[in-house]
Amino acid sequence: MLRYTLRRLAQLVPTVLGLVVVVYLVLRLAPGDPAVSALGENPTAESVARLRERMGLNQGVIPGLLDYMGGVLRGDLGDSIVETRSVSQIIGDSLPVTIVMASAALVLSVMLGVVLGAAAAYLSSRGRDALDHGLTGGAIVMEATPAFVLGLVGLLLFVLKLGWLPATGIFDLVDIGNTARRLALPVAILTVGSLATIARLARTSILEVLNEDYVRTARSLGESPFAALRGHALRNALLPVMTLSGITFGRLLGGTVVMELIFTLPGMGTTLLKTIVDRDYPVVQGIVLVYAILYVLVNLITDLLYRRADPRVVLT
């Protein structure tokens, strides 16, 4: 397992390097001069020259890229053009909210999804398909519903009409009670958005596994359906769910951007949107890079869990 983990980590290096290259080149090779657009209307030639120097735009693309890569390896993502803080500080301040929100939604939707999926599989095996049909319908609707629409509906119902939860005001992650109240609704909405798809997959794969010989044997030896499921079936049935949860995390990260916007949370999403408007390119680069690395890391973790659950997996 250790060797597998190390080799999987080593495979990550080219991907992360590729991400750095893409993020750097997209903004560097884009039409127009980023220094000019960052300075807004009618910048003086002198200020443009100063900013170009600071952003490292005077060197060629390849030396600039190598510089940027070197910086990333040292944890230095450059400096903001607009603020006095460094890009790493800005990200460090906004990352926790985003991570808490996305991972809470992921854990909740996987756990609830598996429970719902198992219930639907059990009912289906008894010939009652209502829950399955509900999940299928829910999955179709949720695939077609963007997170921001769910967010607006949640805002309208629970904040504006019922007044149960706050959506504005000071946000301090250390104040647990306040944090819980502010994050409850966005996390619930993100969970609702990905729950049905996970539950439907869990149901299908649990039903498949329940037909396997070893489950039948366990049942014929007198195990209850629940014990057979827990002791034999679940572990195999959850493999596809693990893969899906990695993909779901990417969608959830996108979802956190709009949740932060709607519920005024100081995370990476709101920071990203603000810095795109300000044309603060070094921060934009840094934030997109961190999102991508988070996504890659979570997929690494799901891969490792998969391997733990199914040791037959070999590295290709």
Interface residues with other proteins (CB under 8 A)?
14-15, 18-19, 21-23, 26-27, 30-31, 140-141, 143-149, 152-153, 155-156, 160-161, 250-251, 253-254, 257-258, 261-262, 272-273, 276-277, 279, 281, 284, 288, 291-292, 295-296
CA distance 42 to 98: 36
Compute the least distance from the CB of residue 277 to other proteins, in Å.
7
Identify which of residues 143 and 310 has a Cβ nearer to other proteins in the complex: 143
Supply 115's token pair: 């429970």
Residue 38 Cα to chain centre, angstroms: 29
What's the rounded Cα separation, in Å, for the pair 131 and 261?
34
Residue 59 per-residue DSSP state: S
User: Least separation, in Å, of the C-beta of 292 and other proteins?
Assistant: 5
- 69 versus 309: smaller Cβ distance to other proteins: 69
Distance CA 307, CA 315 (A): 10
CB of 273 to other proteins, least distance (A): 5
Q: Please, what is the minimum distance in Å from the beta carbon of residue 298 to other proteins?
A: 10
Which residue reads 């884009």 in tokens? 30
CB of 207 to other proteins, least distance (A): 10
Sign of the C-alpha dihedral, residues 263, 266, 271, 277?
Answer: positive
Among residues 38 and 114, whose Cβ is nearest to other proteins?
38
**In terms of residues, how long is the chain?**
316
Q: Are the beta carbons of 198 and 245 closer than 8 angstroms?
A: yes
Beta strands in the chain (DSSP E): none
Least distance from other proteins to the Cβ atom of residue 274, Å? 10
**Dist CA 224 CA 227 (whole Å):** 5
Whichever of 74 and 161 has its CB closer to other proteins, that residue is 161
CB of 146 to other proteins, least distance (A): 5
Beta bridge partners of 79: 86
Write the CB contacts of 280 (distance below 8 Å, at least 6 apart in sequence): 38, 80, 81, 82, 83
Closest to other proteins by CB, 6 vs 297, is: 297
Nearest residue to 5 via CA among 310, 243, 292, 303: 303
